[in-house]
Amino acid sequence: MNTEPRGFKVGLVLLALVLMHFTVRPLLGNDRLAPDFLLLALMLFAIRSRPANAAVAGFTVGILADALSPVAFGAGALAHTVVGYLQAWGKAIFFPDNLLVTSGFLFFGSWLRNFLVLLAGGQTRGAELFWALTAWSVGQAITTTVAGLLVLLTFRRWFKIGIIE
């Protein structure tokens, strides 16, 4: 099966998500709740890649995120690496073509990223940590999941889950 044309198209969608992160996202209101298009691009890449590639992509995205929020440099890299790797592994174990399962993956991945960033960052404690994990992180996970589902439904044919390599 020739997967390269589809891979190229998927690459274009991921690139569009990266651009949307810096153009559309600032216009979406509350910054802590707006969908994270960069993380979404990573997760959509990870669920159709090998864990090794997903981990490297996660590390790259994480370092970029750390450069943008340098309060706990390295925390983002750690979190995104773990999320990328787990997403790739998870898709190998569970049913990848089910929209509900994919939603669960996107939601869990978003929340886990925030959890790990807060944990590794060590800057947030007590009640702030509780609210960050239960309110802001859940809210952002929901909006990121919704955005992910919209992308998957719009480009369903291109995102038909499969291993590229």
102 φ/ψ angles, rounded to the nearest 5 degrees: -60, -40
Decide: helix, strand or coil at residue 84: helix
Is 32 an interacting residue with respect to other proteins (CB under 8 A)?
A: yes
Exposed / middle / buried, residue 8 (Cβ in 10 Å: 0-12, 13-18, 19+):
exposed
Q: Which residues contact 3 (CB under 8 A, 6 or more apart)?
A: 162, 164
Nearer to other proteins, 1 or 100 (CB): 1
Of 63, 112, 146, 149, the residue at the interface with other proteins (CB under 8 A) is 63
- Output the smallest distance, CB 43 to other proteins, in A: 13
Residue list 96-115, contact with other proteins (CB under 8 A):
96, 114
Is 25 an interacting residue with respect to other proteins (CB under 8 A)?
A: yes
Of 11, 15, 98, 123, the residue at the interface with other proteins (CB under 8 A) is 123
Of 9, 89, 101, 107, the residue at the interface with other proteins (CB under 8 A) is 89
In order, the DSSP letters of 11-46 are HHHHHHHHHHHHHTGGGSS-TTTS--HHHHHHHHHH
- Output the smallest distance, CB 149 to other proteins, in A: 19
Of 87, 102, 137, 145, the residue at the interface with other proteins (CB under 8 A) is 137
